[in-house]
Structure formats: C-alpha cells, structure tokens
C-alpha cells in the first residue's frame, strides 16, 4: 500500500508541474483501486452465497429479491452516503483512519477530561477491532478465491486449505523485501478485476433481467416487516458486502478524498452491483448454482483464468491490509499506545515503505490459526462482521464529536446525519452478534486482547513517567546547584533523551553519581509526538539556552512522520548550533526495568504485562536512528 501511494504521489507532483492535472487524477484513481478497494472489491466472492447459507433460506424469487435489495441499499447508505460523501470529510489534516480520527478527537475533547477519556477508550477499541479485521480479511479472501478449485476440479477440493496456506505464507514472507515493484501492478490488476466483475454480471443479468427489480427498497422493507427475526439474521449476513468500507477512510491520506470518491462512483460501485445482480440472475435460473454463484456465473472455459485473477485480487486485498497494519501500528506507537517496535525501511528512496517483523509474523500466525480453525469461507464468514461493524459504529460515534466540536454543527443536523448512520451501524452490529457463538467470539477475543495490551501500555507508561518525575529534580534547580557546586566539565557534547520537559533525566543523575563529571555542553532532548499526521520541518525543532552550556531541545513529529534524530540534529547545524551529533556527541538513553509489585499502579497481572512489553521494546537508538556507537544506555529499576 505504501509503496504504490508514494509512486502515485510522485507522479502527481510531476504532473502538476507539467500541467497535466487530469493525468495525475487518473493515476490516483487507479492507485485507489489497488489499495483502497481490494477488500470490498473481493466481497462478491462470498457475500451472496453466505447470505443464503447463514439464513438457511431457500433460493426463490421471494427470498432472493429481498437479499439483493439489502445488499444494494447497504452499498448505497453505508458506503456511498456515509463513507464516500460524509466520513471522508472528517479528516485530521488530510489523514483518515481510526487512530487519525482518535488523535483529532482527543485534541478536540481535551478541555473535557471525562469525554476525552471516553473517546480515548472508544478509539482504542476501534483500533483493536481493526487488528481483528486485519487477521480475518486475508484468510477469508484467499480461502474464497481458492475454493474455485471445488468448481473447476471437485477432486482437488482437499487442496483448498493447503494452497491457501501456501499463498498466505508466501505473501507474508516477501514483506521484508518491500512491495515497490509489485505495487505498480496493483491498480491495473484491480481494474481488470472490476471489469471482469462487471462483464460477468451483465452476462448473468441478460439471462434474467427481471432481477433488476430488486433495486426497489420495498423488497427489503416488506421482508423485514413480514419476517423481523429472519431479516435480522439476513442483515448480519448481507453486511459482508460492505466489509472494507473503513479502508476508504483509512487510506484517504494516501490518495485524497476526490480520487477515492471518483473511483467508487465510476468503477467500484457499478461493477459490484452488476456482479451481485448477475449472481442473483444466475440463482433465479439455476438455484443449484448456490454452491458457488461467483464462479458458476462465468463460462466454464474461463474458470481457470478467473481462479488466477481471483487469487491475484485477494493477494492485493491482503497486501493492503498487511501494509495498513504496519501503518496503524506505527501510529499507535507514536501516539503512546504501544511500545517501540523494530521498523525496517524497505526502500532507500521512499521513507514511507516500512516492514515490521514482529507485526508481520504475529499477524501471519494469527491468520494461519484462523484458517485451521475455520477451513472454509462458509465457516469463516460467521466470524467475520463483528469486528467490521464494531469499528464502523465507533467511527460514527467519534465523528459526532468532530461535527459538534470542530464543525460547530447544530444538534438537529448532527442527529439527522451522524445520528442516522450511528443507528444503522448499531443495527448492523447487533445483527452480527447473532454469530457470536458460531465464530464471532474469535475476533472479539482478539480485539479484547489487543485492547488490553494497548490500555495497559498507556496506563503503565503514564504511571512510570509519574514515578520517574517524582524522583527527579527540576532542570532549573539542577543548573543552580551546578553553579554553586561546580562539577568537572569534560570536553564534548552529551545529549540526554528524556520524556519530561522540566525534569533532569534519571540517566544523567546516574551518570553523575557514578562518574562524578559533566560534559561541557549538555542537551536535554525530548521527542514529542503531536496529534497531527505531520509536523513541518521548519516547525520541528525548538531550542532554548538554559545557561552554563545547558540546552533544552524539543523535536516534534506527527504520528505519520518517521523519527530521525540525527537528521534533526543536522538541521540544527544549519540553524547555527555548533555541534555535530553524529561525530562528536554522545546520546544517553535511559533503559528502565520494571519490578511488578502487589498493590501497584495497576493489578499485578497488568503490571507484569507492562513489564514484559517494556522489556521487549526495541531500543530508542534504533527507533530514532541514532548511530549505535554514539549511544550510552543507563538503566534504572522501578517498582510499579
């Protein structure tokens, strides 16, 4: 996802310079097809089939038309109106997605601590649900594509799970090499995919054009009125058609809202609708085609090419989810919800292309586990939905805060718009809870575990910061004491990294206690991650002279920026500060060891979890790209 978006952004800049705005817009649209719409674009592989399978309804016109009507109007209301026309407006300085929205809402609600805390918990829960969705999407997408083997060669049905696992393991294994070359193919392949959906859909509709009557919402409404309990289950099944809608919002920062909107209305939406109604027409004529209406809609001679194209489309959808998981994890780290993790850059030219080994292999393990537990798209579809609808509901709730506090809308307008969307999302979420015992418990369990980890880290780190701050002295007081009782000042520059603005870092106190000396120049460096996507370079560095060759330096980054302390220090050189961070300065970094004790800041088991997370966090030197030979680590032990 990242590699393709960077290529597109470069193309956009070049075309703007040449005056070819239309060409750039087309490139962005094509990129959005490959990145944004992979998940929702592969939903026709299983949605209509699962709508009948999960409801147990017979395939007749009386049941088919209501289900098609539900699918059509869910695409209209949830995707076209809510996300494409409405939610894309709720950006955080051009960025979208759950954590970008959370950062914006936290900034807006800070004057009200209770509301801020409530929104914070909701946002963290939404992020946790994203991880659960990220584990299910590759599994169900690739499984449903490979299940075409059962249509092409039923005797090979036993190979569906092994082939799925091979594809998934191969996909995750190549992540460390980057996706730059492969990413250039995403857009064209997905354009071919959507074109194929449309062509086969039209072929099916021509065989039974009366299926188009299902566009009428009265079919769905009459079904709901006549069979409310069954319609509740049907809504929970047909919502599979809108899985992936959150990606529209999450990837807004890569492409911008206009290309995403254009790609939806001119390509994705019409192609999806045509294919769903084409499958419906096939089922009207041949109810037995319910075994796999997606593949059976195509001529038999094209089943093998369609299988290969389906596999490619699901790989692209999975790749977008994997890259998105890296991005949201980095955002969570920089917003303080996760410990530092190792980040590798897979391109020397594009800094945005990253690979996170722990996230990659943990996600693969979870995906493989899911495939073993749910070895078919039928069984896995029951697990799908809770995480998606939960994240959608949380997005709607947080957007209400944006509407009120940022846009200054009246409550009447808020209730008429976001209130309606929230009610619809609540119905969808409630409908998917019916699948809790048949698989829905799995994504909920994953989300709860991740939510626990995120909140434990946030609370534990706050408690640790308070403990360290309580044991340290203020910088002003320290400098006064240095003046009154001079220490030996040795040549060179010492840079002490500290999260506390006005407190002497523990690493410095320990160094002085053991070595009885100070460097001739001391810099207290604090990295501050703002609740905005990016901080302009000219606004990134703030330096204050404290006297006696002591300096306070704040380096500001956004949650989408890539921290690089040497680069920041070199920028200081250009502003007249006479030191060379990479050749002459030593960086002192505190390494804290946590000793869980009963009656601490959190329950003992959470203290223990925080201690484990702290112990396994990557080093500050690696995370901030500080040369290893310039780093001095000074450890402290704290009971918590």
Tell me: the pLDDT tens digits for 397-441? Answer: 999 999 999 999 999 999 999 999 999 999 999 988 888 888 888
- 421 and 493 share a domain? no
- 276 and 353 share a domain? yes
In a domain, 461, yes or no: no
- 404 and 541 share a domain? no
- 380 and 527 share a domain? no
How would residue 638 be classed by pLDDT, with cut points 50, 70 and 90? Answer: confident
* pLDDT at residue 222, rounded to an integer: 95
The whole-angstrom separation of Cα 438 and Cα 573 is: 61
- 430 and 383 share a domain? yes
How would residue 181 be classed by pLDDT, with cut points 50, 70 and 90? Answer: low
- 427 and 496 share a domain? no
* pLDDT at residue 3, rounded to an integer: 44
pTM of model > 0.75: yes
What's the domain range around 106?
A: 2-440
* pLDDT of 17 above 60: no
* pLDDT of 11 above 60: no
The whole-angstrom separation of Cα 119 and Cα 406 is: 15
In a domain, 449, yes or no: no
User: pLDDT digit string (tens) for 117-132?
Assistant: 999 999 999 989 989 8
Higher pLDDT, 567 or 228: 228
User: pLDDT digit string (tens) for 197-222?
Assistant: 999 999 999 999 999 999 999 999 99
In a domain, 446, yes or no: no
* pLDDT at residue 469, rounded to an integer: 76
Select from 419, 440, 461 the last residue of a domain.
Answer: 440
* pLDDT at residue 581, rounded to an integer: 46
Closest to 218 in 3D by CA, of 55, 17, 364, 72? 72
* pLDDT at residue 565, rounded to an integer: 87
Dihedral angle of Cα 97, 100, 104, 106, to the nearest 10 degrees: 110
How would residue 35 be classed by pLDDT, with cut points 50, 70 and 90? Answer: confident
* pLDDT at residue 589, rounded to an integer: 86
Question: Phi and psi (nearest 5°) for 591?
Answer: -120, 105
In a domain, 462, yes or no: no
* pLDDT at residue 577, rounded to an integer: 59
Structurally, the chain folds into a number of domains equal to 2
Select from 387, 417, 440 the last residue of a domain.
Answer: 440
In a domain, 139, yes or no: yes
User: pLDDT digit string (tens) for 258-296?
Assistant: 999 999 999 999 999 999 999 999 999 999 999 999 999
3-state helix, strand, coil in the chain (%, to 5): 70, 10, 20
- 422 and 481 share a domain? no
Q: In the numeric block, which tokens belong to residue 399?
A: 């957007």
- Tell me how long the chain is: 640
- 500 and 361 share a domain? no
Q: Round the average pLDDT of the chain to a whole number and report it.
A: 86
- 373 and 486 share a domain? no
Closest to 79 in 3D by CA, of 223, 199, 239? 239
269-285 vs 180-207: helix crossing angle, rounded to 10: 40
In a domain, 458, yes or no: no
- 57 and 159 share a domain? yes
- 392 and 505 share a domain? no
CATH number at residue 305: 1.20.1740.10
Closest to 550 in 3D by CA, of 493, 619, 597? 493
In a domain, 524, yes or no: yes
* pLDDT at residue 583, rounded to an integer: 54
In a domain, 465, yes or no: no
- 422 and 489 share a domain? no
């Amino acid at each position: 996802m990242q590699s393709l978006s960077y290529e597109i952004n470069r193309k956009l800049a070049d075309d703007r310079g040449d005056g070819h705005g239309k060409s750039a817009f087309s490139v962005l649209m094509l990129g959005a097809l490959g990145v944004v719409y992979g998940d929702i674009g592969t939903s026709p592989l299983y949605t209509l089939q699962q709508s009948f399978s999960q409801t147990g309804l017979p395939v007749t016109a009386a049941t088919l038309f209501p289900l098609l009507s539900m699918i059509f109007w869910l695409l209209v209301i949830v995707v076209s109106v809510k996300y494409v026309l409405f939610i894309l407006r709720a950006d955080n300085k051009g960025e979208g997605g759950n954590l970008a929205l959370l950062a914006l809402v936290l900034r807006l609600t800070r004057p009200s601590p209770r509301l801020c805390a409530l929104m914070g918990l909701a946002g963290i829960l939404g992020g946790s649900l994203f991880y659960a969705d990220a584990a299910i999407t590759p599994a169900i997408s690739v499984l449903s594509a490979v299940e075409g083997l059962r249509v092409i060669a039923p005797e090979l049905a036993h190979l569906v799970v092994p082939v799925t696992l091979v594809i998934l393991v191969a996909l995750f294994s190549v992540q460390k090499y980057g996706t730059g070359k492969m990413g250039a193919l995403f857009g064209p392949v997905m354009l071919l995919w959507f074109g194929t959906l449309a062509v086969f859909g039209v072929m099916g509709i021509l065989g039974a054009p009366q299926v188009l009557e299902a566009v009428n919402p009265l079919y769905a409404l009459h079904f709901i009125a006549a069979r409310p309990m069954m319609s509740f289950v049907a809504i929970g099944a047909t919502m599979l058609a809108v899985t992936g809608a959150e990606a529209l919002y999450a990837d807004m920062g890569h492409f911008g809202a206009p290309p995403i909107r254009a790609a939806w209305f001119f390509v994705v939406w019409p192609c999806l609708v045509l294919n769903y109604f084409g499958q419906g027409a096939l089922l009207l004529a041949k109810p037995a085609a319910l075994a796999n209406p997606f593949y059976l809609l195509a001529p038999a001679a094209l089943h093998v090419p369609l299988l290969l194209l389906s596999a490619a489309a699901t790989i692209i959808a999975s790749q977008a989810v994997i890259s998105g998981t890296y991005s949201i994890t980095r955002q969570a780290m920089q917003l303080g919800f996760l410990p530092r993790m190792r980040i590798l850059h897979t391109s020397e030219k594009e800094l945005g292309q990253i690979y996170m080994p722990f996230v990659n292999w943990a996600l693969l393990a979870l995906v493989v586990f899911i495939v073993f537990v749910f070895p078919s798209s039928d069984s896995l579809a029951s697990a799908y939905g809770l995480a998606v609808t939960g994240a959608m509901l949380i997005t709607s709730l947080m957007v209400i805060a944006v509407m009120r506090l940022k846009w200054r809308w009246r409550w009447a307008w808020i209730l008429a718009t976001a209130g309606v969307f929230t009610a619809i999302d609540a119905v969808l979420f409630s409908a998917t809870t019916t699948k809790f015992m048949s698989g829905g418990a799995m994504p909920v369990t994953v989300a709860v575990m991740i939510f626990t980890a995120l909140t434990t880290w946030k609370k534990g780190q706050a408690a640790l910061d308070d403990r360290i701050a309580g044991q340290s002295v203020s910088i002003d007081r320290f400098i006064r004491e240095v003046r009154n009782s001079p220490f030996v000042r040795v040549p060179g520059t010492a840079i002490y990294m500290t999260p506390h603005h006005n407190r002497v870092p523990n690493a410095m106190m320990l160094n002085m206690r053991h070595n009885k000396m100070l460097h001739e120049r001391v810099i207290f460096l604090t990295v501050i991650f703002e609740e905005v996507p990016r901080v302009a370079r000219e606004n990134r560095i703030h330096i204050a002279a404290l006297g006696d060759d002591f300096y306070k330096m704040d380096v500001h980054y956004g949650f989408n920026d890539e921290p690089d302390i040497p680069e920041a220090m070199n920028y200081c050189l250009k502003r007249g500060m006479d030191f060379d961070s990479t050749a002459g300065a030593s960086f002192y970094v505190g390494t804290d060891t946590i000793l869980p004790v009963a009656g601490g800041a959190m329950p003992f088991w959470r203290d223990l979890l925080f201690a484990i997370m702290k112990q396994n966090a990557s080093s500050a030197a690696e995370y901030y790209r500080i040369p290893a030979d310039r780093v001095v680590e000074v450890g402290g032990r704290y009971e918590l």
